[in-house]
Copies of this chain bind each other. A is one copy, B any other.
Amino acid sequence: MTETARGTSHRYGTRPTMKDVAARAGVGLKTVSRVVNGEPGVTPDTERRVQEAITALGFRRNDSARVLRKGRTASIGLVLEDLADPFYGPLSRAVEEVARSHGALLINGSSAEDPAREQELVLALCARRVDGLVVIPAGDDHRYLAPEIAAGVATVFVDRPAGRIDADVVLSDNFGGAQAAVAHLIAHGHRRIGFIGDQPRIHTAKERLRGYRTAMADAGLPVADSWVSLGPTAPDRVRAAATAMLAAPEPVTALFSGNNRVTVTAVRVLRDHPRPVALVGFDDFELADLVHPAITVVAQDSAHLGRTAAGLLFRRLDGIDDPPQRLELPTRLIPRGSGEIGPPEG
């Protein structure tokens, strides 16, 4: 068995055990356990023999075993929507930095915007005994998490709230940001403004739509059904929606795009469009200032979202037992050119 453990074939379950270390060092199992866990009561000479056996065998203390004994692993899980969406990069990095400052490992995974996959991933992380979770939820029913939270897994939601359970959440001011974006377009003379957003079941998409409608209503402007398109952010869908709004008998003169995935496709559609059309995008993104015209955006601070959520999580892990909190971070309108284009009429 020990020989197999040192072999090179890729097989499961052939790792050297404490027993192997004890046999090689010629000591008892309890002595190996003391050395491995840094407990007192071992002579320097014995400790050296055990360490040599550990090195020779490639033995590594199994954190899973410690977890089972102590009920604690220094790790937190982060479930996000898409590893490739640049919005989540700074958020993930911020969570990781906070985790690291607390000596914890960050474990990431993505739901691909699928509620079943979110649940599978969350429960898999819980089964691996993460201390806590930061979740960007895909689903809107998180009752499946209630037993985990009750059992001590601190959980903070970020970007979107939990559904049907009471839990900490850190959000951006999606409503206010969207309202400001659309009010900005209205202030530049637009009356027919299109909104292309994410899937309507997603909290942020709903809130941004509400901000759009409120800004239009506040200005006394009607909203035609054909000016609102919600759905997946896949380029084909966004392109079709934008093209339809621009080709209508009374075309929109401005677009408000509901997130960075929508914006990058909208920019491509508008580049090929014969008339200038104003654009404000929700979410800032790298190079938004270098595109021509530079893109006016409503910026969220995704690193700040991540830092705040992780900070709240570690407060919970420190035993702070306040009622669940709902924090909302401000957004910021950054005028850069695309949102200051007026309508063709003047």
A: residues with CB less than 8 A from B are 5-16, 57-65, 67-68, 70-73, 75, 82-86, 89-90, 92-93, 96, 105-110, 121, 123-124, 126-129, 131, 146-152, 154, 264, 267-268, 271, 285-287, 290-292, 316-317, 319, 321
Contacts and interface: CB of A to CB of B under 8 A. Distances in A.
A124 B150 contact: no
A262 to B, nearest CB: 13
Count of this chain's copies in the oligomeric assembly: 2
A12 B124 contact: no
Given A57-B147, A64-B128, A107-B108, 5 more contacts: A5-B150, A62-B68, A64-B67, A84-B92, A105-B121
Contact of A131 (B12, B148, B291, B321): B12
Contact of A15 (B12, B71, B285): B71
Contacts of A65: 68
Nearest to A104: B124
Contacts of A82: 93
A151 B15 contact: yes
A91 to B, nearest CB: 9
Contact of A83 (B60, B63, B108): B108
A150 to B, nearest CB: 6
A238 to B, nearest CB: 14
B72 A83 contact: no
Nearest to A86: B86
A154 B82 CA distance: 26
B127 A62 contact: yes
Given A85-B89, A96-B83, A152-B14, A128 B128 contact: yes
A299 to B, nearest CB: 16
A103 to B, nearest CB: 11
22 contacts: A9-B319, A10-B316, A10-B321, A13-B70, A13-B72, A15-B151, A15-B152, A16-B151, A58-B146, A58-B151, A60-B126, A61-B127, A62-B129, A63-B127, A64-B129, A82-B93, A85-B89, A86-B86, A96-B109, A96-B110, A106-B108, A108-B109
A323 B273 CA distance: 55
A89 B260 CA distance: 15
Given A13-B72, A16-B151, A70-B13, A290 B316 contact: no
A263 to B, nearest CB: 10
Given A15-B152, A316-B10, A291 B287 contact: yes
